[in-house]
Amino acid sequence: MRDPTHGSLSILIAEDSRTQAEQLRFILENNGYEVRLALNGREALAMLAEQIPELVISDINMPEMDGYELCTQIKSDRTLAEIPVILVTALSETRDLLQGLECGADSYITKPYDEADLIKGIKQVVEGEKLLLENNSLMVPFHGESYRINNNASNILNFLITTYDLAVKKNIFLAAANVLLYDEIAERKSVEERILRNNEFLTILHKISIVASETIELDLLIPEIMKAVTVIGMLKCEPKGTIFLAGEDGLHLACGIGHSQEFKEKHRLVPYGTCLCGLSAKTGEVVISMNSETDSRHTLQSCGMDPHGHIIIPLKAKNRLVGVLSLSLALEDIQLEIDSQMSALLAALGQQVGLAIDNARLYEQTRISSLHDPLTGIANRRMMEILLNKQFSLSKRNNNPLSLLMFDIDHFKRYNDTMGHVEGDKVLVVIAQIAAEEIRETDTVFRYGGEEFLILLPGEPLSSALVIAERLRSAVERQTPVTISLGAASYVQGMEQIEEFVVKTDDALYRAKQNGRNRVES
């Protein structure tokens, strides 16, 4: 064999993995070696017959002929026996070493191999520097120094096998420790992610509770809730979403952020069980959709909308459906893993929003009840004071026309005593309905007290108020068994007190009664 320090050394690599073979060739060629590749043991033997290299590096695990058999074939052939053979191993079993010794391998390379150690190992084998037997002793290089071990060959072999066996056991222990370490790292990462989830949801829930405490009016509360929930980072929501409120006939659109008018018109009422929102309302469960175009449940499609995903969350208060929250997701951002923790967080979000909305609705109902007459359903005297004060102030500031009608039922006590209170209540309800039908949407009819009613007419001069009053008087006479007397008055410049306005109207009503009832006076 020629001196490897002169010219390039020829090496044959036997490796069934082309990727690993090319990696090894790249390292060796970069260090000045000539390299040929064989993909299995048989191919390597055929290439050896054509050209004898100065070194063979073979993987152990190969199809057709493994590294041990290839080494055995080389060492049993007189023309090839002097070629050094290095076996590549993962250092997993002591038997690997024994089989290598048995087949005549000159050295081992362990995977994964370091480039510097690989080149050093090749030089030791080729140049004869790795082992040097002198007078029944062994020269062992270690950490840059050489140690002479005087012993017989069997003891040396036993020492090497024991050392190798300890190394293998240590390697197995370290591998197991690494697995445990990786598992611990993964578990800690999972715990950290769960903590981050909890913290983000707690922040959102806290924000919703603050909004709910500061904004009790339903029409102001819902948009604020939408702003809070559409920025939940872990859900990767788009800045759009909707809240529907549950009604007897289905889900009614209460708020839509980031949606077109066409979308809002199409989703103004969603029947229960229809589309994703209706399905969530019907089942009371969170509904996830990864693609609106391919999801057959997504039956309400709108023009001009890009494909998107959805998270639909039922909103509940005391296990009662309040509505549905719909969040939109961009397709490229959908990486949701709905585990038990995420399901619990979404359910908690639905409960928090549901309670906030339910409280706002209860407040609204209470407010409406406090401002409306329970018998007739029309505004009561308290509401009259609020609206009359507002309109009177506007008229004073801008000199806008403002008229007031006051009426009561003629001889109502006699009718009540004769027909009974039940019939009397029915008449009050019917007259309130007639009055509401005879006025504009901008006008308001109030139950002032007992059988007395008052109608506020913003923007109407006295002449128009008299026309409305006469029309109302005539309608009551035609449709009920009783008649009414009406007084009309208008705001005049210089009028400073509301009481003055009301007294003026009351005086007109008094004149109507004095002049025969069932008439209008101003």
How far is Cα 143 from Cα 130, in angstroms, rounded to an integer? 13
Which of 451, 477, 499, 521 is catalytic? The answer is: 451
- Residues 244-267: b if buried by 16+ CB within 10 A, e if exposed: bbbeeebbbbbbbbebeeebeebb
Q: Closest Cα to residue 228, out of 357, 353, 351?
A: 353
Using DSSP's 3-state secondary structure scheme, residue 318 falls into coil
How far is Cα 156 from Cα 158, in angstroms, rounded to an integer? 5
**Amino acid identity for residue 290 in this structure:** M
As given in the structure block, the two tokens for residue 214 are 């500061």
Q: Residue for token digits 């006076």?
A: 521
Q: Are strands 85-89 and 107-110 parallel, antiparallel or unpaired?
A: parallel
Q: Residue for token digits 């589309």?
A: 275
Residue 497 is classified by DSSP as -
As given in the structure block, the two tokens for residue 245 are 């409120």
Say if residues 249 and 273 touch (Cβ distance below 8 Å): no
How many other CB atoms sit within 10 Å of the CB of residue 422? 8
How far is Cα 136 from Cα 133, in angstroms, rounded to an integer? 6
248 is catalytic: no
Residues in contact with 81: Cβ distance below 8 Å, sequence separation at least 6, in sequence order:
74, 75
As given in the structure block, the two tokens for residue 321 are 């459906």
Residues in contact with 259: Cβ distance below 8 Å, sequence separation at least 6, in sequence order:
240, 242, 302
Q: Closest Cα to residue 289, out of 313, 308, 270?
A: 308
Say if residues 458 and 400 touch (Cβ distance below 8 Å): yes
- The H-or-E segment that residue 8 falls in is none
In terms of C-beta distances under 8 Å and separation of at least 24 residues, what long-range contacts does 62-71 make, across chains too?
A: 62/14, 62/15, 62/16, 63/16, 64/40, 65/40, 65/41, 66/41, 67/14, 67/41, 68/99, 68/100, 68/102, 68/103, 69/41, 69/103, 70/14, 70/41, 70/44, 70/45, 71/100, 71/103, 71/104, 71/105
Using DSSP's 3-state secondary structure scheme, residue 455 falls into strand
Say if residues 309 and 292 touch (Cβ distance below 8 Å): yes
Report phi then psi at 231, rounded to 5. -115, 20
As annotated, the active-site residues are 451
